[in-house]
Chain A
Amino acid sequence: MNSGLVSEVAELTVEHLTLVLISMAIAIAVAVPAGILITRRAAWRPWVMGFANVMQTIPSLALFGFLIPVPLIGGIGKRTAIVALVLYALLPILRNTLVGILGVDAAVRESAVAMGMTGRQLLWRVELPLAARTILAGIRVATVTTIGTATIAAAIGGGGLGVFIFRGIASVDSTQILAGAVPAACIALLADGALGWVERRWAGRL
């Protein structure tokens, strides 16, 4: 294998990871608070969950395409790619935050309220710690999916390991396709293992 390919793999892997990390950070920052909010406002639930569901049903290539003409967040490049990846990652995190918090034992919640916890104390001391494992599971699913989906970012000039894959498809060169697909798969496996470990560690405390 020539050294040019190796250094390009390294470069695009870093780019890929950057896309994933930025997208996940934004998705978590949006979906966890939104999930908490809809545990408090049942009337908003169908709307918020519906939006996230619809986003997930749009085929990923089409979603990237749809965003190109959108002003401010659209266009060609990384920003658009990140927007699309965030929209994709929302649903699992949102759903698991909602389910995790609503799943806290009613007797535990009633005790907390009856002991004079404020709404904030109930959230931080009881609901979030007890829902943490479920929320982490959602983040794990979203991360692994995002690592795969991020390969499509190359289609709209977002860079990352997808660059190899699209180039390989265009030139019918399976070495190029593998140079993109294998590192992406490895990252996904590593992320899955690492987040799974965090999840189990948390479960051990309960």
Chain B
Amino acid sequence: MSALVEFREASYRIGEREILKSLTLSIEAGETVVLLGRSGSGKTTALKMVNGLLFPSAGEVLVDGKPTTAWDPVRLKRRIGYVIQEIGLFPHYTVAQNIGLVPQLEGWDGLRIRERVEALLGQVGLAPEQFASRYPRQLSGGQRQRVGVARALAADPSVLLFDEPFGALDPVTRLDLQKQFLMLRRDFGKTAIFVTHDVREALMLANRIALLRNGALELVAPPLEFLDSLGREARAFLACLDWNVEAP
């Protein structure tokens, strides 16, 4: 297996503040790595370095073996799907136009885009005939995020980035989408980097969990190993799972 995305001592600082401290981590083709950490741990910063929304102040990030700084910025972004918590659907585009945007920018012909959009809507659990011509404002939060995921998958990117995509959803819808994510992973086998602060979500979705604390990588481990980890930050996160309602 080859590393599709590789952080090599990548740091990011704003002025004196070091947001990310010399991160070294490689992500293999087909695996899902979850970046877990508290707010301000640098996980989103690390994610944004993959598709060139940010560039490391020191070190480098390689995608397909090539540093992000050497990529054409537009080409790099179109090869990588990106899903964020706020979703960011274009309000003046229909669902179909939103999903078909990157293929359209890439110059696909109309028929191929339409087929692709219909297939993707089906795969994220939305009936095409019912949803294709709706506008984002006519959808529920969960439906919007499904469209967001379909949009990220549209041009068949080699890597998908997720920045707390399900964080704003109610727990029932969230679980639905997490299951959908696992199904999509089974069907597509995409490489994914997933940012979250929810340890339960990390355990459910990850092949490996990378734990960040104050911009530094504390631990990289598969979920089962992570559960047994004795590190302080890992225990702090795992403690979130242990709390039980006591009998009166």
Residues of A within 8 A of B (CB): 105-118, 121, 125-126, 129-130, 205-206
Contact = CB atoms under 8 A, between A and B. Distances in A.
A22 to B, nearest CB: 32
A205 to B, nearest CB: 6
* Tier of interface size on chain B: 20 to 34
A109 B91 CA distance: 11
A111 B88 contact: yes
9 contacts: A107-B86, A107-B88, A111-B89, A114-B51, A114-B53, A114-B80, A115-B78, A116-B74, A116-B77
Interface of B: 51, 53, 73-78, 80, 82, 84, 86-92, 101-102, 105, 151
Nearest to B77: A116
B74 A111 contact: no
A206 B87 CA distance: 17
A115 B82 contact: yes
A82 to B, nearest CB: 35
Given A111-B88, A130-B91, 20 more contacts: A105-B91, A106-B86, A107-B86, A107-B87, A110-B53, A110-B84, A110-B88, A111-B84, A112-B90, A114-B77, A114-B80, A115-B78, A115-B101, A115-B105, A116-B73, A116-B74, A116-B78, A117-B105, A129-B92, A130-B92
Secondary structure type dominating chain B contacts: mixed
Contacts of A129: 92
A116 B92 contact: no
Given A115-B77, A116-B77, A107 B92 contact: no
A113 B77 contact: yes
A112 to B, nearest CB: 7
A108 B78 contact: no
B86 A206 contact: no
Contact of B82 (A105, A109, A114): A114
B221 to A, nearest CB: 29
B5 to A, nearest CB: 15
A205 B135 CA distance: 10
A106 B53 CA distance: 14
Given A107-B88, A108-B88, A118 B74 contact: yes
Nearest to B135: A206
B100 to A, nearest CB: 11
A110 B44 CA distance: 13
Contacts of B88: 105, 107-112
A105 B73 CA distance: 22
Contact of A116 (B84, B91, B105): B105
Given A118-B74, A121-B105, A111 B91 contact: no
Contacts of B151: 115
A110 to B, nearest CB: 6
B77 A126 contact: no
Nearest to B86: A107
A111 B81 CA distance: 10
B105 A206 contact: no
A10 to B, nearest CB: 42
A133 to B, nearest CB: 10
A110 B87 CA distance: 10
Contacts of A107: 84, 86-88
A125 B90 CA distance: 10
Contacts of A205: 92
Contacts of A109: 88
B89 A206 contact: no
A115 B102 contact: yes
Contacts of B77: 113-116
Given A115-B105, A116-B105, A108 B74 contact: no
Contacts of B101: 115
Contacts of B75: 116
Contacts of B53: 110, 113-114
B168 to A, nearest CB: 11
Nearest to B104: A125
Of all A-B residue pairs in the complex, the 4 with the closest CB atoms, nearest first, are A111-B88, A107-B86, A116-B78, A116-B77
